[in-house]
Chains A and B, each alone.
Chain A
C-alpha cells in the first residue's frame, strides 16, 4: 500500500474517533442542561473544554461579583465544539478533514464506506444549527454519534481486513488511547477540586465512556472510584478501556508489519508493548491517588510517541531505507 494512502487511512480513523469523543462529552453536558443548577453546568462546560484541550471558557466577574464566573450561553459553547470552522477540533472541522482523507483514498475505499462518510459530512455541513440548538440540542449530538456508529458498522461489513483497514483501526485506537488517558487524568484532577468533585461524579465518567451499565451489572449502582478506574483502565472487554485499546494496537501493528513484531522489535511495536505493560501494571490511582494523574498523562505522552514512531516507520521513512527492505 502507498505510504501516503496508509497515512490517509490512519488519519481518517483518528478523525472519526475524535468526533466520537467530542460528541460523547457534549452529549453528557447537553443532557444535563435541563435539570442541573447553573454552577454545575458552568463546571461541566469548563471540564469539557479542558478535557478537549480547548482554551478555557468563562471569566471571573469584577467588582462585587468577583466570585461569579461569567459564561457564554450554552449554545454558544456547544456551537464552538460542533459547528465552529475556526476550531480545528470541532465536529464539523473533523468531519471535513476525515472526509478529505476519505476522498484522497477513494480508489481504495469501498463505495458504501465512502458514501456513508460523505453523507455524514453533508449532513453536518448542511445542518441548520440555530434550529437544532433551539429545538433539540442533544438530538443533534445523538445523531452525530449514530452516524459514526453507522460508519463503524459499514466499515466492519464492507472493508476487507487488509492493510487499509488496519491503518484505519490503528488511527482510531491510538486516538482513543490519547483521549481516554487525558479524560481519566482530568477526571482525577477534578476529583481533587472541591466544587468539581461534587459536579462531576465517577458515575458521570462511566456514562461519558458508555460504561455505566456494564459497571452496574458487574458491581452496583453505587460507583466506587477504584472499581471505576480499574474498569476503564484494565478491563479486557470494554471497548473504551485502555487495555482493550492497547491490545488492539498491538494486534494491528503485528498485522501491518509481522517482521517488526519479531525480535529485535521494530520501534512502533516496542512502544506498543511498553504501553501495554504500563496499562496492565502501572498505578492507575485506584488505591493511591498521589501520582495517578501523572500516570495517565505519561500514557498520553507514550501514545503520542507511538504515533510518531508509526509515521516514521511506514510513512515518512527516507527512500534508501525503503529500497533496502
Chain B
C-alpha cells in the first residue's frame, strides 16, 4: 500500500496518508480539503508543546468538572475521563445536509415500523421483515401490542452511528432505546471553543448549545394537553456509566432527575416523593432499559424502576420517552432490513446506505460467515459497547475457532459484516498529529410535529494506532465535530 506524507514538519510531521482510508482532513493528493484548509494551516503553525498544553487544559477542565463515565467491573467502580482529542473534525454543509436528510428519513420509517409491528403487522404479512425475526426478538414487548403511543412517537430521541469509507457515508447502527453521548458532545464543544476561540469563530460552525432546550420541547410536545407538563429523567443512579449525562441534561433542562426509589404509583399516575408530598410526573425521559422499568411487568427483581409504572403508561397517565419495545427496531438482525422498511413505508430509496450484513440465522449467511471468518467482524445481535464481538483479521486462529463454535451453537444470535475501512481524522497523540479511525453519532429528536437533527454529534475516535474500536470503554475517545454553515 503506497503511503504519502500529508505535510512536512510541525505537528503534522509524521502524518501518513493511506489511500485505503478516507482521510477527513486531506485529499488523496496530500493537500488539505477545502473546508479544512484554515484549520490545517492554524494547526501547522502550532508547536507540539502548544497542543500538549491545550490538551492538558481540556483534560483538567474535564477532571475538575467531573465529566466522566463510570466503568463497573467485578471488583470496583471507577470514574474515567473520556479522552478528548483537541483537533476538531470538519464536515461541510453539503455533507451534513445529506446526513440530516438520511437520518430524518430513517427515523420516520422506523417509527412507522414500530407502530406497525405493535398494531397491524402489515410489513410482517407482506414479508418485508420475517415475522419470526420480529416476534422472536427479545426486545419485542408483547405488552406494547395494541397500545396507543402518544402521537405515534415511539422513538423521541435517537442516536445513529454513521461511518465514512471511500464509498461515502453509511449507517452502522441505530440506537433507539437509550442512546447516550450527547453530553460529551456538548462538553467537548465547550472545551474546544475555549481552546480555539478565534479559529472556531472564523469557521462559522453550527451551534449545538440549544440541545437541552430542544430536548425539553420535544418531550413536552408529547403531552400537548397539558400546558406545563411535569417532565423528569429517570436514571439508574450514580453508578450508571452515563450518570454524568443524566445529571447534566436534568440540570440543563431544569427538571427533576429521579431514581426508582423516588417513584410511587397513586391513582393510576406516577408520582415522585418531594419534601412537600407526592407530585405527579407527566413525561418521563427514561434512561434505563425496558427490563428494569417496572418490576410488575418486566424483571421482578428490578429496583431501578417503579412498580406500576407501566400501568400509568398504559392508561395514558404517563408518557415514556422512548417507548418500551423500541429495541426491536435497533436489533442488529433487523438492521439489514431497514432499507426495505424505508422503501415499504415511505416509498423512497434510502438516502443513507447500510453496511453489508450477513445474518447467521439464514443458512446462506451462516455458511458465508463461517467460511470468511478471517475477513469479517462478527457481532452478537444484542451486543453493545464493542464487547462480545470478533474482529476476524485481528483474532488468532484459536480465537476464531472458539468463536465459530459459539456461532454454530446459536446462529440466530450473530451477524457478520466486512471489516470496514473507517475514515481517519487527524488526532493529537503522543506529541504529534497522527491519523486515527473515527465514527460519528448524530442525535435526532422526534417531537409531536417536528424532527430536529442536532447539527453536530459525538465523534468517536479509536485512539490506539490501527484500532477500529471507538467505544470509550475500550480505549476510544472523542473529538468535536464542526458542521460548517456553508
Interface string of A247-259 (1 = CB under 8 A from B): 0000000001100
State whether A6 and B275 are in contact (beta carbons under 8 Å apart), knowing that A103-B238, A111-B65, A319-B264 are contacts in the complex. yes
- How many residues of B are in contact with the other chain, CB < 8 A? 29
The stretch among A81-89, A115-123, A233-241 that forms the contact with chain B is A115-123
Given contacts A319-B278, A323-B266, contact A2 B65 (CB under 8 A): no
What CA separation (Å) do A319 and B266 show in the bound complex? 9
CB neighbours of B256 from chain A (8 A): 2, 5, 107
Proximity bits, A51-80, B CB within 8 Å = 1, else 0: 000000000000000000000000000000
Partner of B275, one of A115, A256, A321: A256
Give the residues in chain A near B250, CB-CB below 8 Å.
Answer: 107
Report if A131 contacts B (CB, 8 A).
no
Is B185's beta carbon under 8 Å from chain A? no
| Proximity string of chain B (33-71) to chain A, C-beta cutoff 8 Å, 1 when within and 0 when not | 000000000000000000000000000000111100000
Asked if residues A314 and B275 are in contact (CB atoms below 8 Å), the reply is: yes
Cross-interface CB contact of B262 among A4, A119, A323, cutoff 8 Å:
A4
Known interface pairs A3-B262, A122-B63, A319-B266. Does A163 touch B275 (Cβ–Cβ under 8 Å)? yes
CB-CB under 8 A for A322 and B277, given A106-B248, A107-B250: yes
Q: How far is the CA of A2 from the CA of B247 in the complex (A)?
A: 14
Contact with A along B184-216 (1 / 0, CB 8 A): 000000000000000000000000000000000
User: Which residues from chain B contact A273 at a C-beta distance below 8 Å?
Assistant: none
A4 in contact with B273 (CB, 8 Å): yes
With A and B bound together, what is the CA distance between A104 and B266 in angstroms? Answer: 25
Interface size on A, residues (CB 8 A): 31
Structural contact, B66 and A103, CB atoms closer than 8 A: yes
Q: Which of A94-121 contact B (CB under 8 A)?
A: 100, 103-104, 106-108, 111, 114-115, 118-119
**Distance in angstroms between the alpha carbons of A114 and B262 in the assembled complex:** 23
> Does A315 sit at the interface, judged by CB under 8 A?
yes
Please give, as numbers and ranges, the residues of chain B lying within 8 Å of A115 by CB-CB distance: 64-66
Instruction: Tell me which residues from 218 to 249 in chain B have a Cβ below 8 Å from any Cβ of chain A.
Output: 237-238, 243-244, 246-248
A324 at the interface (CB under 8 A from B): yes
Closest A-chain residue to B272, C-beta based?
A: A2
Q: A2-B258, A2-B262, A4-B262 are in contact. Are A118 and B277 (CB under 8 A)?
A: no
Tell me the minimal C-beta distance from B56 to chain A in angstroms.
15
Q: Is A218 an interface residue (CB 8 A)?
A: no
A42 to B135, CA, bound (A): 74
Is residue A136 within 8 Å, beta carbon to beta carbon, of the partner chain?
A: no
Q: In the assembled complex, how far is the CB of residue A95 from the closest CB belonging to chain B, in whole angstroms?
A: 14
| Residue A34 interfacial (CB < 8 Å) | no
Of all chain B residues, the one with the shortest Cβ separation from A100 is B238
Taking the complex as formed, is B257 at the interface, i.e. its CB lies under 8 A from any CB of chain A?
A: yes
Bound together, the chains give a CA A114 to CA B63 distance in angstroms of 12
Known contacts A107-B250, A107-B251; A122 and B64 CB within 8 A of each other: yes
With A2-B258, A104-B238: A319-B273 Cβ-Cβ less than 8 Å? yes
Chain A residue contacts of B238, Cβ below 8 A: 100, 103-104
How many angstroms between the C-alpha atoms of A301 and B277 in the bound complex?
A: 28
Which residues from chain B contact A4 at a C-beta distance below 8 Å?
A: 259, 261-262, 273
Count CB-based A-B contacts (< 8 Å).
77
In chain A, positions 273-325 with a C-beta closer than 8 Å to chain B are 314-315, 317, 319, 321-325
A122's nearest neighbour on chain B, judged by CB, is: B63
Looking at B64, B243, B271, which has the most chain A CB atoms within 10 Å of its CB? Answer: B64
Verify if A1 is at the interface (C-beta below 8 Å from B): yes
Instruction: Kindly state whether residue B402 has any CB partner on chain A within 8 Å.
Output: no
Nearest chain A CB to B213's CB is how many angstroms away? 16
The answer to the question of B274 belonging to the interface, with a C-beta cut-off of 8 Å to chain A, is yes
For chain B residues 260-282, which have a beta carbon within 8 Å of chain A?
Answer: 261-262, 264, 266, 271-278
Docked Cα-Cα span, A108 to B248, in Å, equals 10
Q: How far is the CA of A111 from the CA of B274 in the complex (A)?
A: 23
Contact present for B251 and A108 (CB under 8 Å) = yes
Query: Which chain B residues lie closer than 8 Å to A104 at the CB level?
Result: 237-238
> Is the beta-carbon distance between B273 and A2 smaller than 8 angstroms?
yes
Complex Cα distance, B246 from A256, in Å, reads 27
> Known contacts A106-B247, A107-B251; is A325 also within 8 Å of B65 by CB?
no
* Structural contact, A118 and B64, CB atoms closer than 8 A: yes
User: Are A107 and B273 in contact, with the CB atoms below 8 A?
Assistant: no
Residue ID in chain B nearest A320 by CB atoms:
B266
From A315, which residue of chain B is reached at the shortest CB distance?
Answer: B275
Min CB–CB distance A177 → chain B (angstroms) = 21
From residue A226, how far is it (CB to closest CB) to chain B in Å?
42
A103 to chain B, nearest CB (A): 5
Q: State whether B65 touches A324 (Cβ < 8 A).
A: no
Which A residues touch B64, using CB under 8 A? Answer: 115, 118-119, 122
B275 in contact with A107 (CB, 8 Å): no
What is the CA–CA distance of A2 and B261 in the complex, to the nearest angstrom?
A: 11
Knowing A1-B275, A323-B266 touch, does A118 contact B66 (C-beta < 8 A)?
A: yes
Interface positions, chain B 155-207, Cβ under 8 Å from A, are none
> Could you give, for residues 111-144 of chain A, a 1 whenever the CB lies within 8 Å of some chain B CB and a 0 otherwise?
1001100110010000000000000000000000
Residues of chain A having any CB pair with chain B under 8 Å? 1-6, 100, 103-104, 106-108, 111, 114-115, 118-119, 122, 163, 167, 256-257, 314-315, 317, 319, 321-325
16 contacts between A and B (CB under 8 A): A4-B259, A4-B261, A4-B273, A6-B275, A100-B238, A103-B66, A107-B247, A107-B248, A114-B66, A115-B64, A119-B64, A167-B275, A257-B275, A314-B275, A319-B278, A322-B278
- Which are the 9 A-B pairs with shortest beta-carbon distances? A325-B277, A107-B250, A106-B247, A322-B277, A107-B251, A314-B275, A3-B273, A107-B257, A322-B278
Given contacts A106-B248, A114-B66, A323-B278, list 16 more A-B pairs with CB under 8 A. A2-B273, A2-B275, A3-B273, A103-B66, A107-B246, A107-B250, A107-B251, A114-B65, A115-B64, A115-B66, A118-B64, A118-B65, A167-B275, A319-B264, A319-B271, A323-B266
